[in-house]
């Protein structure tokens, strides 16, 4: 679980952020601090992976806290959640290594995207000891070279693709066949095969051919979770 400290001087906003956080899988609240000094105190005896940080705080600003965290070389990531929209403040936060910047007011969807993106990037690094440039570009730097159109191939629809993706993600990382998915979602084997081929082409699935009990080839698929983001442009 990713342990999160909310640093926000407005109790109502802190409560909203807390409720939003509870809606997203993989995160747990490590605490709430209503000032920079209180936050620094909590960091002394609390394990924190991520801080949701406001800029405008009493006495000392959130940017001062971010600066101090960096000076102390703490391995803590920070997402700014603030009404501060001035360019200099945004640039300062990014220079200090903020992984995202949300300007109030914002919708839950934007909050969710920030947290999910952070979770995916953290999972990517946790799974690696060394990285290739291609993987770094695709998973962290968002500089994937587009070699295919962002439009789905003819005959495929976004709604059906979402249904199939949900079924695939529920396979618990086990290899699966076209028949497994077709039976689960109630869509014809021929149609399912087209979607699996598409997901294989964009490297969201890995395909391996084996032989069944009667000697006929069977294609098994494995969900490449680290490439899950590659399908977003098609949804």
pLDDT digits (tens, 9 = 90+) for 95-114: 999 999 999 888 888 899 89
Q: Do residue 109 and residue 179 come from a single domain? A: no
C-beta atoms surrounding 228 within 10 Å: 16
pLDDT score of 147: 43
- At 80 the three-state DSSP class reads strand
The predicted model gives 109-131 an average pLDDT of 86
Residue 90 domain flag: yes
The pLDDT value given to residue 218 = 79
Residues 104 and 181 in one domain: no
pLDDT, one tens digit per residue, over 177-192 is 999 999 988 889 899 9
Show Cβ contacts of residue 101 under 8 Å, excluding neighbours closer than 6 positions: 79, 80, 82, 90, 93, 94
Length of the chain: 235
Structural domain span for residue 8:
2-126
Q: Is residue 131 part of a domain?
A: no
Q: Does residue 98 belong to any structural domain of this protein?
A: yes
Answer yes or no: do 106 and 16 share one domain.
Answer: yes
Query: Residue 24 contacts by C-beta under 8 Å, 6 or more apart in sequence?
Result: 112, 115, 116, 119
Is residue 147 included in any domain, yes or no? no
User: Is 226 a domain residue?
Assistant: yes
218 in a domain, yes or no?
yes
Q: Are residues 32 and 75 in the same domain?
A: yes
Buried b (16+ CB within 10 A) or exposed e, 12-45: ebbebbeebbeebeebeebebbbbbeebbebbee
More confident residue, 217 or 22: 22
Residues 99 and 165 in one domain: no
Q: Which residue has the higher pLDDT, 147 or 47?
A: 47
pLDDT at 93 over 50: yes
Q: Are residues 112 and 57 in the same domain?
A: yes
The string of DSSP letters for 119-174 reads: HHHHHHHHT-SS--HHHHIIIII------S-SSPPTT--HHHHHHHHHHHHTTTT-
Residue 26 and residue 44: Cα distance in Å, rounded? Answer: 23
| Residue 154: band (very low, low, confident or very high) from pLDDT cuts 50, 70, 90 | confident
- Structural domain count of the chain: 2
- Between 98 and 128, the more confident residue is 98
The per-residue pLDDT for 148 is: 42
pLDDT at 215: 58
Q: Specify the CATH number for the domain of residue 112.
A: 3.40.50.2300
Q: Report if residue 145 sits inside a domain.
A: no
Give the model's pLDDT for residue 214. Answer: 58
**pLDDT at position 146:** 44
Rounded to whole angstroms, the Cα distance separating 33 from 47 reads 14
CATH number at 162 reads 1.10.10.10
More confident residue, 212 or 202: 202
Q: Does the residue 137 lie in any domain?
A: no
Mean per-residue pLDDT, 60-83: 94
């Amino acid at each position: 679980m990713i342990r999160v400290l909310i640093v926000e001087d407005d109790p109502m906003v802190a409560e909203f952020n807390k409720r939003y956080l509870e809606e997203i899988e993989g995160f747990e609240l490590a605490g709430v601090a209503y000032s920079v000094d209180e936050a620094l105190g909590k960091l002394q005896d609390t394990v924190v992976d991520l801080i949701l940080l406001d800029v405008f705080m009493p006495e000392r600003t959130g940017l001062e806290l971010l600066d101090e965290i960096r000076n102390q070389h703490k391995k803590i990531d920070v997402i700014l959640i603030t009404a501060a929209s001035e360019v200099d403040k945004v640039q300062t936060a990014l220079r200090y290594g903020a992984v995202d910047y949300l300007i109030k007011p914002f919708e839950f969807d934007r909050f969710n995207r920030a947290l999910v993106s952070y979770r995916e990037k953290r999972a990517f690094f946790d799974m690696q000891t060394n990285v290739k440039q291609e993987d770094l570009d695709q998973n962290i730097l968002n500089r994937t070279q587009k070699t295919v159109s962002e439009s789905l191939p003819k005959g495929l629809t976004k709604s059906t693709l979402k249904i199939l993706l949900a079924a695939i993600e529920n396979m618990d990382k086990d290899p699966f066949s076209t028949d497994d998915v077709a039976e689960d979602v109630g869509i014809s084997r021929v149609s399912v095969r087209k979607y699996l081929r598409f997901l294989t082409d964009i490297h969201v699935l890995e395909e391996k051919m084996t032989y069944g009990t009667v000697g006929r080839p069977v294609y098994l698929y494995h969900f490449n979770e680290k490439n899950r983001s590659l399908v977003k442009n098609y949804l």
